[in-house]
Structure 1
Amino acid sequence: MTMRVPWVALCVVLVLVLGGAQVSMAAITCNALQLSPCATAITSSTKPTPMCCSKLKEQRPCLCKYLKDPKLQKFINSPNAKKVATTCGTPFPRC
């Protein structure tokens, strides 16, 4: 089972890369790839890293846009993603 996590994380990163939206919003650029430091925490219920929390806070204004993307929504709207947001002190948006 320890070999499974890297493959799952890799798949999540690939989905983020292939489906990553890049849209300018005020002072932030929406890019789902920026959330890749959170992939392990989202897919394996491990504690998010400080880098993950930083990127999540940075990309928070973009989460509703990501939720509308069929390629990303199952990761962004997962129970683990919501736990990561809570752990990072970043309220999950209501879209």
Structure 2
Amino acid sequence: MEYDQYVELGLNGEAPLKLILCGNVENKNDCNVGVVAVVYATTDKKLAEEKMKALINNKENSDKYYMVYSVPLNTDLTTLDHYPSIEITKEDLL
């Protein structure tokens, strides 16, 4: 599946909360560190779509990876088949 298809899945999911996560590698004290952060939360699909486009199209964010998830409320997310996360591999940190 392509990146755009994953974004569409996240935006069009049935769960009401849309979370946008950002993953990137930062250099801290001469050591690369993988960071994943929630950068936006909304129950408005249109706002989530607009924010994703703005983040992805911002040239200052070219070294960052963004993903959107539809998240159910009042749920232990670790019980879901797939919960909001971004994988950062050891190779990403080199």
When normalised by structure 1's length, the TM-score is 0.30
Structure with greater helix share of residues? 1
